[in-house]
Amino acid sequence: MTKTTGAPARQEVAVAFDRVSKTYGNVHAVDRLSLTLHPGETVALLGPNGAGKSTTLDLLLGLRQPDSGTVQVFGTGPREAIVAGRVGAMLQSGGLMDEVTVAELVTLACALHPRPHPVSDVLARAGVTPIADRKVNKLSGGQEQRVRFALATAGDSDLIVLDEPTTGMDVTARQAFWATMRDQADQGRTVLFATHYLEEADAIADRVLVLHRGRLLADGTAAEIKAKAGARRVSFDLEGAIDEPALRALPFLTALTVSGQTVRMQSTDADATVHALYGLGLYPRNLEVAGLGLEQAFVALTAAEEAKQS
């Protein structure tokens, strides 16, 4: 992922981690992590709990200092980039000032940004105009997330960092929020978001980073990650008694579940598996062969890594 050095103003790197490590006690939260984000990218940061997502974002934002390695944001240290107004961020752990209204809080965020947007625009874009006069401590979880988003987008920042932005939102609210996020990316901003909703990464990210035990396990488009996981999903119905041991013996099979008359399996070579299935003299109905969703690919990838390490 190295870019050729051209005119520095155009070929600027948004975020650069160079062999960054952070240890708590004897836990390697982030382990010699190197990665580069380029301007305009929309990047999802995925990983199971404890993979080091939060620590990575903390290091990126200068809230923690790395034990070794360097973190650069637009060619400077994180704090300098924030002071220059180039970074807007919402943290999961970022609280809000209570006993003030949403509008007052957003006004504050705008006042603190060197290149602020008009308060009314920020409120509208985050979808909090209808609750602008409400006290911050009287909001629902999803509304709070929107206010955090408003704080992160109060000014003309080049990089927006969002930590689990849609936590606490229902499906409809989440999809509406994605539109808001896409809008930020369409304006040419670099958007980095950590999430555990893989659907979210699939829907908006043009690049997915999979973090596992503080290291980068995969880096590519959602499609590439799915391909890397390699498996396909096969499902069908069978009539009569199901001979499970025989099914389990099918070639290239990695997973099998039988519920009622429905059989679901995963295979690293679906063509060969289905061929062998017919070879057993079975007549599968409603046969479906599909690629794995990002979710299953992710599970497969991290499980494979776990197996490798133990």
Partner 1 sequence: MNSLIRLELVRALRNRKFLFFSVIYPSVLFLLIAGSADDTTKVDGTGLTLPTYMMVSMASFGALTAVLMGNSERIAKERENGWVRQLRLTTLPGRGYVLAKTAGAAVVSLPSIVVVFAVAATVKNVRLDAWQWLALTGAIWVGSLVFAALGVALGYLASGDAVRPITMIVYFGLSILGGLWMPTTTFPQWLQDMAKWVPTHAYAALGQSIEQSQAPHARDIVVLAVFFALFTGGAAWLYRKDTLKA
Least CB distance to partner 1 at residue 65 (A): 7
Nearer to partner 1, 106 or 205 (CB): 106
Beta carbons of 295 and 287 less than 8 angstroms apart: no
Least CB distance to partner 1 at residue 226 (A): 33
Q: How many residues belong to the chain?
A: 310
Nearer to partner 1, 57 or 253 (CB): 57
Least CB distance to partner 1 at residue 99 (A): 5
Burial environment of residue 39 by CB neighbours within 10 A (0 to 12, 13 to 18, 19 or more): middle
3-class DSSP state of 202: helix
String of DSSP letters for 242-289: --HHHHHTSTTEEEEEEETTEEEEEESSHHHHHHHHHHTT---EEEEE
* Residue 295 tokens, joined: 């979710």
Nearer to partner 1, 23 or 175 (CB): 23
Least CB distance to partner 1 at residue 139 (A): 13
Nearer to partner 1, 148 or 232 (CB): 148
Closest by CA position to 85, among listed 70, 93, 71, 73: 73
String of DSSP letters for 74-117: TTB-HHHHHHTT-EEEE-TT----SSSBHHHHHHHHHHHSSSBP
String of DSSP letters for 144-190: HHHHHHHHHTSB--SEEEEESTTTT--HHHHHHHHHHHHHHHHTT-E
3-class DSSP state of 305: helix
Nearer to partner 1, 59 or 198 (CB): 59
Nearer to partner 1, 99 or 259 (CB): 99
Residues at the site binding partner 1, with contacts judged by CB under 8 A: 58, 61-65, 82-83, 85, 87-89, 91, 93-97, 99-100, 104-105, 107-109, 111-114, 148, 151-152
Least CB distance to partner 1 at residue 142 (A): 17
- Name beta bridge partners: 70: 18
Closest by CA position to 74, among listed 152, 201, 189, 153: 189
Nearer to partner 1, 80 or 219 (CB): 80
Least CB distance to partner 1 at residue 91 (A): 6
Nearer to partner 1, 99 or 307 (CB): 99
Closest by CA position to 39, among listed 71, 98, 86, 85: 86
Least CB distance to partner 1 at residue 2 (A): 29
Least CB distance to partner 1 at residue 69 (A): 17
